[in-house]
A and B are shown apart, each in its own frame.
Chain A
Amino acid sequence: MTDPKPLSLRVPEPGCRPGGVPDFSDFVVPMAGETRRPEIDTAPEDMRDMAFSIVRVLNRHGEAMGPWAGRLTPDELREGLRHMITLRVFDERMTNAQRQGKTSFYMQHLGEEAVSCAFRMALEQGDMNFPTYRQAGLLIAGGYPLVDMMNQIYSNSADPLKGRQLPIMYSARDHGFFTISGNLGTQYIQAVGWAMASAIAGDTRIAAGWIGDGATAEGDFHSAMVFASTYNAPVILNIVNNQWAISTFQGMARGAAVTFAERGHGFGIPAIRVDGNDYLAVHAVASWAAERARSGHGPTLIEHVTYRAGGHSTSDDPAAYRSKNESAAWPLGDPIERLKAHLIAIGEWSDERHTQGTAEIADRVRSAQREAEAKGTLIDGSHPSPRSMFDDVYAEMPQHLVQQRQEGGY
């Protein structure tokens, strides 16, 4: 035996840091339409290839290609475009509101609008999402009022959560949107539990769990995969791989694995990778997984491949850890531009209609913002009473909380 050499620790590094030239040449982008569409009852081991490819529908000319295409009407596609533009405009206005000091915090979805907006349209009334803080498209596409979202962000007197929660930690039970927690990954296993409950009750409703690439490293990701697999839970487990977890690139969580989707294989869960910037592809894959779950064939893992074009949050400056040009170099483009191009390519949209539609949406968002700000912002106007802070800790307020409320003078 030879003398061993000193071992060394591998600390993964992204391909590009500030000042560098972004290079996605090793990122394999399959042709739109080339990835197969298995039957919904396909056994996980018979579709292992799906975890290493990327389901794509829209090609560079805006044409819908292959077996995942043709599932949405022009009206539905225009609606999807409206949802994505609404989310982007909403993000812009709330980011500005934070810059103006009207609220303490905001997180935008720039570049990821298709993921949550398209996914929501594949669910039915009564299904339940367990989202992270970056799926507000589920609310917008689900018809939740923009003004209620803003009231929450402003913690004003009309805030549905009574000023208790950090901005964007929405909760909308009636819209199938579970209360967001700041603790990462926790909701992933809860989604599985909800789905198990639906199965226990003999219901037909399904759940969807959401997690980012970085948070897949949390133990609750593993918990969710084990439970979903063991109990064949009717759940869709979404990983939104936007390449970045604050400042750490996705390789830090993925390790030596090639994709996040392949994590499903070790659990016997079918896994599909999808172009997260392709509205049609996200919708088609979500519909496939929803039908699979609803038919009793069990869970599906979906890795949405996308790019976090904006900062992590209003407290983050991505220029400190990644190239400013990286977003532009991202090979899957912009979800809004791609759907717009498709609608124009099929003769169902035009630049003029797009400009006009965007202006109408901007008006609607502005008007919601005026309405919300009339109720107050974090620094201005009326807020939920400190007295209400003591409510809802328990169903009935125990004696010690009554006393503390009195002690506080509320």
Chain B
Amino acid sequence: MARMTMIEAIRNAHDLAMGTDDRVVVFGEDVGYFGGVFRCTAGLQKKYGASRCFDAPINESGIVGAAIGMTAYGLKPVVEIQFADYVYPAYDQIVSEAARMRHRSAGQFTCPMVIRMPTGGGIFGGQTHSQSPEALFTHVAGLKVVVPSNPRDAKGLLLAAIEDPDPVIFLEPKRLYNGPFNGHHDQPVAPWKSHPLGEVDEDYYTVPLGKAEIRRAGSAVTVLAYGTMVYVAEAAAEEAQIDAEIIDLRTLLPLDIDTVAASVKKTGRCVIIHEATRTSGFGAELSAQVQESCFYHLEVPITRVTGWDTPYPHAQEWAYFPGPERLKRALLAVMEG
């Protein structure tokens, strides 16, 4: 076991995947020599050579499109989009091509690739360094969508994503790269080395896709969270002294509805929290599925705590970011309801 930040865990996963499987190639903007603007690929080019880990032109559609061509050849590319906010030029390649390749060719061509991208706010990133576009991918048949919340999962989920025979959108909450963050921006942030989930097995292991994890067992209300919001949920439950069951979804598509439904049937209450904007956000899908599968167990309406339906602001960051205060209010309201 070793102490790792999420960055180190992701780098370690790349290293193990490249060492295990010659077909794994890694590229993206500033990913090669420099090792990535967040250092997630540092040292890989030196270790595996420039034909396995290399810099790419600033062209997201090109990065994803070229990677798709590589999968048709038989490689397993792991590509990086520098910020999730910049994935849109590649959206056609992801939706029209990667996601549909297996289906439209009846399995002749498949797309085993991972598209990594730092996501989420809480870093004064403003409009184009803070977005959470997961719902744009969970709406696409053929994709898998993963959001880790800690170094242990980040490594195991990334290795599982690289092994996976389908295209995986791998969203890394950059707010969590160096340490957990519960939304209390006025308090010092602890590094991963003081958190139990910063303790990472150095050997190769995977965390299965499609499996949620109960991060805090409870009986009063179920909180569905992923990414940074897992820590916001932990803080809010503790501060409100509510016996919440906090579920870290980890994989959004395919969704572990069994774990979710079992919890809501037990608690009778459900609060969903995500950073992304509300309307047609992933919370809407969660709410619908919980309603469908737990209707007769629900004591109160399902509540969503989300980013507002506005572009992500700069100066108003903490009024936008769904922090522990907002979640506490929602939890208390749900408990009274």
User: Do these two chains interact?
Assistant: yes
Name A residues whose Cβ lies closer than 8 Å to a Cβ of B.
Answer: 128, 130, 160-162, 164-165, 169, 171-173, 178-179, 181-183, 186, 188-201, 207, 219-220, 222-224, 226-227, 230, 392-395, 398-400
In the complex, what's the smallest C-beta–C-beta distance from B41 to chain A, in angstroms?
16
User: Which single member of A178, A183, A393 contacts B102 (CB below 8 Å)?
Assistant: A393
Residue of B nearest to A200 (CB): B51
A230 and B66 alpha carbons, distance in the complex (Å): 12
Q: Does B8 contact A (CB under 8 A)?
A: no
User: Contacts of B100 on A, CB cut-off 8 Å?
Assistant: 181
Contact B257–A161 (Cβ < 8 Å): no
A198 and B74 alpha carbons, distance in the complex (Å): 9
Contact B106–A395 (Cβ < 8 Å): no
User: Which single member of B51, B62, B255 contacts A224 (CB below 8 Å)?
Assistant: B62
User: Contacts of B65 on A, CB cut-off 8 Å?
Assistant: 186, 188-190, 192-193, 220, 223-224
Contact B110–A395 (Cβ < 8 Å): yes
Q: Decide: A128 near B106, CB < 8 A? Known: A190-B65, A226-B59.
A: no
User: Which single member of B51, B59, B66, B109 contacts A178 (CB below 8 Å)?
Assistant: B109
Q: Does B215 contact A (CB under 8 A)?
A: no
A327 and B68 alpha carbons, distance in the complex (Å): 38
Q: Decide: A192 near B142, CB < 8 A? Known: A173-B105, A399-B254.
A: no
Q: Decide: A192 near B257, CB < 8 A? Known: A183-B92, A227-B57.
A: no
Contact B25–A200 (Cβ < 8 Å): yes
Q: Which of B52, B96, B144 has the most CB of A within 10 A?
A: B96
**B80-108 to A contact mask, C-beta < 8 Å, 1/0:** 00000000010011001100111111111
Contact A197–B70 (Cβ < 8 Å): yes
User: Contacts of B101 on A, CB cut-off 8 Å?
Assistant: 179
User: Contacts of A186 on B, CB cut-off 8 Å?
Assistant: 65, 92-93, 96-97
In the complex, what's the smallest C-beta–C-beta distance from B316 to chain A, in angstroms?
33
Q: Does B7 contact A (CB under 8 A)?
A: no
A196 and B101 alpha carbons, distance in the complex (Å): 19
In the complex, what's the smallest C-beta–C-beta distance from A132 to chain B, in angstroms?
14
User: Could you list some 28 contacts between A and B, CB below 8 A?
Assistant: A128-B72, A161-B106, A162-B106, A165-B104, A171-B106, A178-B72, A178-B109, A179-B101, A181-B97, A181-B100, A186-B96, A188-B65, A189-B61, A193-B66, A193-B70, A195-B69, A196-B66, A196-B70, A201-B74, A219-B61, A220-B92, A392-B102, A392-B106, A394-B144, A394-B165, A394-B254, A395-B110, A399-B258
Residue of A nearest to B49 (CB): A200
In the complex, what's the smallest C-beta–C-beta distance from B171 to chain A, in angstroms?
19
Q: Does B248 contact A (CB under 8 A)?
A: no
Name B residues whose Cβ lies closer than 8 Å to a Cβ of A.
Answer: 25, 51-52, 56-57, 59, 61-62, 65-70, 72-75, 89, 92-93, 96-97, 100-110, 141-142, 144, 164-166, 210, 254-255, 257-258
User: Which single member of A194, A201, A226, A395 contacts B57 (CB below 8 Å)?
Assistant: A226
User: Contacts of A173 on B, CB cut-off 8 Å?
Assistant: 105, 108-109
In the complex, what's the smallest C-beta–C-beta distance from B223 to chain A, in angstroms?
22
User: Contacts of B70 on A, CB cut-off 8 Å?
Assistant: 193-194, 196-197, 200
Contact A192–B69 (Cβ < 8 Å): yes
A191 and B69 alpha carbons, distance in the complex (Å): 6
Contact B109–A171 (Cβ < 8 Å): yes
Q: Which of B70, B101, B210 has the most CB of A within 10 A?
A: B70
Q: Decide: A189 near B66, CB < 8 A? Known: A223-B59, A393-B142, A400-B254.
A: yes
In the complex, what's the smallest C-beta–C-beta distance from B96 to chain A, in angstroms?
4
Contact B72–A160 (Cβ < 8 Å): no
In the complex, what's the smallest C-beta–C-beta distance from B261 to chain A, in angstroms?
11
User: Contacts of B68 on A, CB cut-off 8 Å?
Assistant: 190, 193
Q: Decide: A393 near B105, CB < 8 A? Known: A128-B72, A189-B66, A194-B72.
A: no
In the complex, what's the smallest C-beta–C-beta distance from B175 to chain A, in angstroms?
29
A160 and B258 alpha carbons, distance in the complex (Å): 36
User: Contacts of B66 on A, CB cut-off 8 Å?
Assistant: 189-190, 192-193, 196, 223, 227
